[in-house]
Structure 1
Amino acid sequence: MTDRWEAAAEAQIRAAQDRGEFDNLPGMGKPLPGRNTPYDESWWIKSFLEREKLPGDLLLPTPLQLRRRIEQLPDEVRYLPTEESVRAYVGELNAQVVAWLRNPTGPRIAVRPANADEAVQQWRAMRAAPAPAAGPQPDLADAPPCRRRARWRFWRRRDR
């Protein structure tokens, strides 16, 4: 049984070679990537992140992701149009922090909710500050939208 199976597979491979389906494949004639580098146990994770162009902080535990988002808060709210939208964004972030504090998972790392008033003050200061003279002023209509990170809880059903 297995001999017939192998023979059929080999026949299909030979027929595909004759049709030229294996010609001009990407990487043809090039050495294998990473051939002379030392072995890394997480090579497949790194190659997946690189291939899919995903940020590396997706691998961080939840408290570190939350702390990083709090640190990057001024940059994330910079292009929001109104004070209410800044407060809403900080409120959503604080809701995630409180949810983690109620049921902590991962390493025990201190995470404090962000202060909405400080975020609004920083937002006002950035809006009032003159743009640097070296480069053109960014147009708020062309600004990238504020990133909202989706919770990767695929096991929960969303009723929205």
Structure 2
Amino acid sequence: MSDRQARGVDRQIQEAEGRGEFKNLPGAGKPLPGIGQPLREDWWLHQQATRENIGLDALPPALKLAREIEALPATLDALGDDAAVRAAVEALNVRIRKALIGPIEGPPLRFGLRDVDAEVRAWRERRS
């Protein structure tokens, strides 16, 4: 950007401030959301989905599966017994297997099938 362009931008900002266009903006005086938290790989998508109030159903299948895996411990913790945990992980594996086999919209998968027995063991440990 040239000096002339920079001066033009500065002038436009000053004029907008004079008209009061920067007053009462949403979030004014509040900390930036997510400050101090590590950025996820798809931070931009999460931010846009939150801003535009888009639910998980609108995400591409690959990202939806990544969200399911991220929330898996909490999802499993809400279940009452080993059989329910096992069934939930097996159902997730069916969706992952389908995504691994066929063409899928969105970014490539960066994970594989979940180990059912390991997930059940982890669920038991979190409960005790």
The two structures have a TM-score, normalised by structure 2, of 0.54
Corresponding residue of 1:93: 92
State the distance in 1 between where 2:70 and 2:103 align.
20
Distance across 1 between alignment mates of 2:97 and 2:61:
12
Indicate if the aligned counterparts of 2:79 and 2:85 stay in contact, CA closer than 8 A: yes
Name the structure 2 match of 1:119.
119
Q: Which residue of 2 aligns with 1:108?
A: 108
Structure 1 residue 67 displacement after superposition? 1.6
Per-residue deviation, 1:60 = 2.4
In the comparison of the two structures, how many residue pairs are matched?
Answer: 80
TM superposition shift of 1:123: 0.9
Shift, 1:127, TM fit:
1.2
Normalised to the residue count of structure 1, the TM-score between the two structures is 0.44
| Amino acid aligned to 1:94 | N
State the shift of 1:76 in Å: 0.2
1:14 alignment partner in structure 2: none
Residue by residue, what CA displacement relative to the aligned partner does 1:48-105 show, whole Å, maximum 9, x if unpaired? x3xxxx63x3332211211221121110010211101100000000000111111121
C-alpha distance in 1, partners of 2:57/2:81? Answer: 29
Q: Is the 8 A contact 1:66 1:97 kept in 2?
A: yes
Contact 2:85/2:120 (8 A) holds in 1: yes
Identity %: 30
Instruction: Give the alignment's Cα RMSD to 1 decimal.
Output: 2.4
SS at match of 2:114: coil
Larger Rg: 1
SS in 2 for 1:80: coil
2:72 equivalent to 1:79: no
Which consecutive unaligned segments of at least 5 residues does structure 2 have? Answer: 1-24, 27-47
Gap runs ≥5 in structure 1: 1-35, 129-160
CA–CA separation in structure 1 for the residues paired with 2:96 and 2:78: 23
Equivalent positions of 1:1-160 (< 5 A) are: 46=52, 49=53, 55=55, 57-106=56-105, 107-128=107-128
